[in-house]
A and B are shown apart, each in its own frame.
Chain A
Amino acid sequence: MTLRRARLDWAHWGLTLLAGLGAVVMLLPFLWMLSTSLKPASAVLSLPPELLPREPTLEAYREVARSFPIVRVFLNTLLVAAATTLGQLVVSSMSGYAFARFRFAGRDLLFAAYLATLMVPFAVTVTPLFIVVKALGWTNTYWGLVVPALFGAFGTFLMRQFFLALPGELEEAAVLDGASTFTTFARVMLPLSGPALATLGVFSFMASWNSFLWPLLIVNDPRLMTLPLALATLQGLYPGQTQWNLVMAGTVIAVIPMVVVFLLAQRWVVEGVTASGLKG
């Protein structure tokens, strides 16, 4: 028995060591990003590379702020992500409720049509979507960044499943008290929907914060850019040599808020990502 116990301990420490090695691989790129962003331009191309900056400086951050409206870009990203999240929550919880509790002709067919759109890759819709948004005059506007991102079958599906799992007696009690459908929804159902709203909210926020292809297509005015797009632009801002300390400073600015959101809402983030099957 002691022998078996000892072997278990060895396996135990072996696994911990393995997990630690993996963690180093996962964290080293983040460390390298942070370290490069704190180097002066002269130290970026030093050989051998300094893993930690010998003379840490905020020079790169100042230079990024000077050559690029980075504060504005940051606020754009925040605004677009917040508006998208809020809009998604309102639109999807209401449509999810409609599919879960209303009876109307063609409901199931319509819901099947919603689900079918989940199978279609974004590459299929992107061209006509661009034309619609252009026709609305929404290129280079916040509208163009936010509104098309409000609608998707995933949110409706998630909320519908959640409402279906709630017992109908809750609403019946409210109706007996003479409440309207909307009051019942807002006062009884929504307060119970915390977990579903958190999952969808965190997921929408993350998807918006990290979104690249769509902003790339409809925005070219730096004052309306979001962070991922600004980063890609920053890379090519200086002809000839990429200024890696500047690019990494921009990257740090883009990455930190998402890391904070993740650490604060880890459970919902993991749930949102694995439930949707969509990645950042």
Chain B
Amino acid sequence: MYERGWRRTLTLALFLGPSLLGMVLFVMGPILASLGLAFARWDLLTPPEFVGLANFRALWADPEFWRALRHTFGFLLGYIPLVMLCGLGAALVLNARIPGRDFFRAVYFLPVVTAWVAVALVWKWLLNPGYGLVNHLLGLVGLQGPGWLFDPNWAMPAVILTSVWKDTGFVMAILLAGLQNIPREYYEAAAIDGAGGAARLRYVTLPLLAPALYFALTLSLINSFQVFDQVYVMTGGGPAGATTVLVERIVKNAFSYSQMGYAAAMSWFLFALIFLSSWALTRLQRRAL
């Protein structure tokens, strides 16, 4: 910046070089390579071969892919409303001046910082049909708990439940930041107009929280399309393939079946899904606000 001529170039290279080299080698290069691979067949042994749209046609015809796509959407449809609701509830409660508020905030955020593998294992054990705590507690109130991860109908709900538990604090933290940005005067004005608690929530809090809600929703959506760790550890896609999801299929195809091109095509389909849905959300937000 302050040097001139070749010394200036050298300084720039010193500052930007390491990052640029790494980005090209480990991020941008792989992105471009993946784009190329999506139109190629490659088993890692023989040289890649250009096949045009064949991978995408194979995708269209692959029942395993459609099943994983259905499961991913199933996860999303259960997870998103629940995590948003729990996160909003937690944020509203912990924005009030209650005793021990900071302690509660820390506790709710604890699962967010815990490794997914650890959370998945603990919940796998909690949800153990015979010896787990959850079914025992259900039994105490006279309910017969399901087989959870061993039951094809209950495995995905179990994964959703676990994910909601882990991410509630994440949504809460974003919404708490949003709540703190609402000026107090708005509530005072509403109180003068005689608005009760419910009216204040409906006409002050929620409209002014909308940007934070959209932000949390977009992030949750992007993350949930990429659901993987919890599924891998809790069910491995089972039982009987009841919880296979897109990223799990991509990893399987690439690293177990050595179908690099096919996996790349599927990953770009995933990208398109994420891109289009966040774009749609942004449009929706712009129209609504």
**Residues in chain B near residue A184, CB distance under 8 A:** 2
- Contact between B34 and A124 (Cβ–Cβ < 8 Å)? yes
**Chain A CB within 8 A of B60 CB:** no
Query: Which segment of A57-65, A66-74, A93-101 sits at the interface?
Result: A93-101
- Contact between A98 and B125 (Cβ–Cβ < 8 Å)? no
**Residues in chain A near residue B121, CB distance under 8 A:** 231-232, 235, 247-248, 251
**Chain A CB within 8 A of B25 CB:** yes
**Residues in chain A near residue B126, CB distance under 8 A:** 29, 32
Closest to A114 in B: B23
- Contact between A206 and B113 (Cβ–Cβ < 8 Å)? yes
Q: Kindly name the residue among A12, A16, A124, A274 whose own CB sees the greatest number of chain B CB atoms within 10 A.
A: A124
Q: How far is the CA of A97 from the CA of B18 in the complex (A)?
A: 13
**Residues in chain B near residue A127, CB distance under 8 A:** 30, 34, 37, 254, 260, 263-264, 267
A121-B225 contact in complex given A102-B1, A228-B116, A279-B167, C-beta closer than 8 Å: yes
- Contact between B107 and A279 (Cβ–Cβ < 8 Å)? no
Interface size on A, residues (CB 8 A): 101
A232 contact from B31, B106, B233, Cβ within 8 A: B233
Minimum CB–CB distance from A10 to chain B (whole Å) comes to 12
A152 contact from B27, B133, B169, Cβ within 8 A: B27
B contact face: mostly helix, strand, loop, or mixed: helix
**Residues in chain A near residue B61, CB distance under 8 A:** none
Minimum CB–CB distance from B38 to chain A (whole Å) comes to 9
**Residues in chain A near residue B23, CB distance under 8 A:** 114, 117, 151, 153
A contact face: mostly helix, strand, loop, or mixed: helix
Closest to B230 in A: A212
A selection of 11 A-B contacts at a CB cut-off of 8 Å is A15-B96, A23-B104, A46-B131, A49-B133, A101-B1, A120-B31, A124-B271, A132-B26, A206-B113, A213-B228, A244-B128
Q: Give the interface of A toward B (CB within 8 A).
A: 11-12, 15-16, 18-20, 22-23, 25-30, 32-33, 36, 44-49, 51, 90-92, 94-95, 97-99, 101-102, 104, 110, 113-114, 117, 119-132, 147-148, 150-153, 156, 171, 175, 180-182, 184-185, 206, 209-210, 212-213, 216-217, 227-229, 231-232, 235, 244, 247-248, 251, 254-255, 258-259, 261-263, 266, 269-270, 273-274, 277-280
Q: List 10 additional contacts besides A29-B126, A44-B131, A213-B228; criterion CB under 8 Å.
A: A92-B19, A119-B274, A124-B268, A126-B250, A128-B29, A180-B2, A210-B117, A232-B232, A261-B113, A279-B166
